[in-house]
Amino acid sequence: MMQIPKQSVIQKFHIKLIGSLVILLGLLIASNQLLKLDIGALIQNFDQFLALLKEMMHPDWKSAPFVVQPILETIQMALIGTTIGTVLAIPASVIAARNVVPNKWVTGTIRIIFNIVRTLPDLLLAALFVAIVGIGPYAGVLTLSVFSFGMITKLFYECIETVDYGPMEAILTTGGKRSSMVIFAVLPQVASRFVSYILYTFEINVRASTVLGYLGAGGIGQQLQTSLSEFRYDQTAVIILAILVVVLVIDGVSNYARERLQ
Cβ atoms of 70 and 212 within 8 Å: the answer is: no
Question: How far is it, in rounded angstroms, from Cα 209 to Cα 79?
Answer: 11
Whether the pLDDT of residue 243 is over 60: the answer is yes
Cβ atoms of 237 and 57 within 8 Å: the answer is: yes
Whether the pLDDT of residue 248 is over 80: the answer is yes
Q: Any idea which fold 64-261 has?
A: MetI-like fold (1.10.3720)
Residue 160 neighbours by CB distance under 10 Å: 23
pLDDT band at 261 (very low <50, low <70, confident <90, very high): low
pLDDT band at 1 (very low <50, low <70, confident <90, very high): very low
Q: Can you give the pLDDT at residue 146?
A: 92
Residues 6 or more apart from 64 whose CB is under 8 A from it? 238, 242
The residue that leads in pLDDT, 251 or 24, is 24
Q: How do residues 59-108 score in pLDDT, each as one tens digit?
A: 888 888 888 888 888 889 889 999 999 999 999 998 988 888 888 888 88
Q: How do residues 134-182 score in pLDDT, each as one tens digit?
A: 888 888 889 999 999 999 999 998 888 888 877 777 877 777 777 777 7
Question: How far is it, in rounded angstroms, from Cα 210 to Cα 205?
Answer: 9
Q: How do residues 22-72 score in pLDDT, each as one tens digit?
A: 999 988 888 888 877 777 777 787 888 788 888 888 888 888 888 888 888
Question: How far is it, in rounded angstroms, from Cα 254 to Cα 219?
Answer: 22
Whether the pLDDT of residue 12 is over 70: the answer is yes
Q: How do residues 186-216 score in pLDDT, each as one tens digit?
A: 888 888 788 888 888 888 888 888 777 777 7
Cβ atoms of 212 and 221 within 8 Å: the answer is: yes
